[in-house]
C-alpha cells in the first residue's frame, strides 16, 4: 500500500509540474471571435484555380519528400529538399554574402534598395531546416516592395545546436545591422524585422527581448504564419489539419500526441519550458511592441497562433494587424509570382512598411 501511495504521489507531482509550470498560461485564451478593428480577410477564390492546384501539388511533393527523409533520420537530405524551394527562379535582386557579427548571412538588394533602410529577415523551417538560399523568393520580393536592404541570416539550427543558439544569432545580427549596411559600416535610418513560421517566432521574440532590454526597437515587424505557441494548444492545429497540405505531413505525429507528452517533448527538444516567452512569444508581455503585421492562411494549422498573438497584443495596447487569406498553403508568399495571392500579400507588406516610414 505504501508503494502504491508513493507512486500515486509521484504521478501527481509530475502531472502538476507539467500542467502548472511547463505549459502555464495556455488556458488564458477563450474561443476567438473575429475583430474587424484589427482583422482583414482576403478571399482567395476557389481552391480549384490552376495556380492553387499547381502550388498544392508542389507542396505535397516537397512535404512528402521531407517527411520521408526525416522518418529515416536523414536530416541533411531533408534540408536539401527544403532548400530547393526557391531554386530555378530568376531574381532582379543582388545577393551578397556577409559575416553579420559572427553570423553567416547575405544581403538581398533589389535595384531600388536604400542601404540605410534595412530589414533583418529570419527564415522559417521548424528551427531545423532553411537558410537564406531557401528563402530568396521571399527576401528578394521583400526588398522590392519595401525599398530596403534585406539581411537574411543563416542562424544555427537544431538539433546540432540548442534553441538558445538560434536566439543568440538573431540578437548578434540585430546588433550588427544597426551599425552596418551592404556598403560597409553605417547607421541604419529605418530598421524592420521580418520572418516566417519559425522565423516569425524568432522575430517576435526578438522584438520583445529588445523592448525588455531598453534597446532600439525596430520600426515595424512583419511575421508570416508565425509559430507563437510551442505548447501546441491552438484549436486550428486540429481543426485545420485536413486542409494544411504542408504542415500536416511534418506535424502529424506531434499533433496526435497527448498534451502531457507534447510538453515533455518540447522540454527535451528545446531545453526550455514550452510556455517560456523565449520560445512561445504568445505567453509573454505583449505591451509596448512596435507596429506589427501578421499574415496567415485561414486553412493552415498555425492560424490560431497568429490570431491569438494579435488579439492579445491588441488587448495589451500594441499596434498590431492581422491579415488572413482563404485557401492558402502555409507560407504561400514563397510561391511568388506563381500565386497571385502571394503578390497581394507582398503588396500589403509594402503598404504597411510604407506607413511606418
Give the residue numbers annotated as catalytic, written as ranges. 197, 300, 330
- The span from the CA of 302 to the CA of 196, in Å, is 11
Could you give the 3-state DSSP secondary structure of residue 34? coil
Burial class (CB in 10 A: 0-12, 13-18, 19+), 70: buried
| Residue matched to cell numbers 507582398 | 346
- The span from the CA of 2 to the CA of 190, in Å, is 66
- The span from the CA of 138 to the CA of 212, in Å, is 29
Q: Are 200 and 322 in contact (CB under 8 A)?
A: no
- The span from the CA of 302 to the CA of 273, in Å, is 20
**DSSP state, residue 282:** G
H/E element, 292: strand 292-297
Cα distances (angstroms) measured from residue 237 to each of 41, 136, 286, 302, 324: 20, 28, 23, 6, 16
| Residue matched to cell numbers 507563437 | 228
Q: Are 326 and 245 in contact (CB under 8 A)?
A: no
- The span from the CA of 290 to the CA of 194, in Å, is 12
- The span from the CA of 248 to the CA of 252, in Å, is 5
Amino acid at each position: 500500500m505504501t508503494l502504491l501511495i508513493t507512486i500515486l504521489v509521484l504521478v501527481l507531482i509530475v502531472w502538476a509540474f507539467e500542467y502548472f509550470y511547463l505549459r502555464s498560461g495556455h488556458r488564458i485564451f477563450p474561443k476567438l471571435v473575429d475583430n474587424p478593428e484589427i482583422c482583414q480577410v482576403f478571399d482567395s477564390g476557389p481552391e480549384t484555380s490552376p495556380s492553387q492546384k499547381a502550388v498544392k501539388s508542389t507542396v505535397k511533393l516537397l512535404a512528402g519528400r521531407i517527411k520521408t527523409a526525416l522518418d529515416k533520420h536523414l536530416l541533411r537530405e531533408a534540408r536539401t529538399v527544403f532548400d530547393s524551394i526557391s531554386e530555378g527562379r530568376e531574381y532582379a535582386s543582388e545577393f551578397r554574402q556577409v559575416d553579420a557579427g559572427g553570423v553567416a548571412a547575405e544581403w538581398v538588394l533589389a535595384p531600388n534598395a536604400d542601404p540605410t533602410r534595412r530589414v533583418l529577415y529570419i527564415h522559417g523551417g521548424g528551427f531545423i531546416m532553411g537558410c537564406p538560399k531557401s528563402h530568396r523568393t521571399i527576401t528578394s520580393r521583400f526588398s522590392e516592395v519595401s525599398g530596403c536592404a534585406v539581411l537574411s541570416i543563416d542562424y544555427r539550427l537544431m538539433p546540432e545546436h540548442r534553441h538558445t543558439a538560434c536566439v543568440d544569432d538573431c540578437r548578434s545580427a540585430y546588433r550588427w545591422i544597426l551599425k552596418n549596411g551592404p556598403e560597409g559600416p553605417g547607421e541604419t535610418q529605418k530598421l524592420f524585422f521580418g520572418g516566417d513560421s519559425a522565423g516569425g517566432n524568432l522575430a517576435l521574440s526578438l522584438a520583445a527581448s529588445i523592448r525588455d532590454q531598453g534597446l532600439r526597437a525596430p520600426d515595424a515587424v512583419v511575421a508570416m504564419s508565425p509559430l507563437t505557441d510551442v505548447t501546441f494548444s491552438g484549436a486550428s492545429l486540429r481543426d485545420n489539419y485536413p486542409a494544411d497540405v504542408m504542415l500536416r505531413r511534418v506535424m502529424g505525429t506531434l499533433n496526435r500526441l497527448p498534451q502531457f507528452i507534447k510538453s515533455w517533448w518540447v522540454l527535451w527538444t528545446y531545453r526550455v519550458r514550452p510556455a517560456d516567452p523565449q520560445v512561445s512569444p504568445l505567453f509573454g508581455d505583449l505591451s509596448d511592441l512596435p507596429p506589427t503585421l501578421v499574415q496567415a492562411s485561414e486553412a493552415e494549422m498555425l492560424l490560431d497562433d497568429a490570431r491569438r498573438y494579435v488579439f492579445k497584443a491588441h488587448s495589451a495596447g500594441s499596434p498590431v494587424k492581422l491579415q488572413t487569406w482563404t485557401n492558402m498553403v502555409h507560407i504561400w508568399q514563397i510561391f511568388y509570382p506563381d500565386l497571385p495571392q502571394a503578390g497581394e500579400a507582398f503588396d500589403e507588406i509594402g503598404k504597411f512598411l510604407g506607413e511606418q516610414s
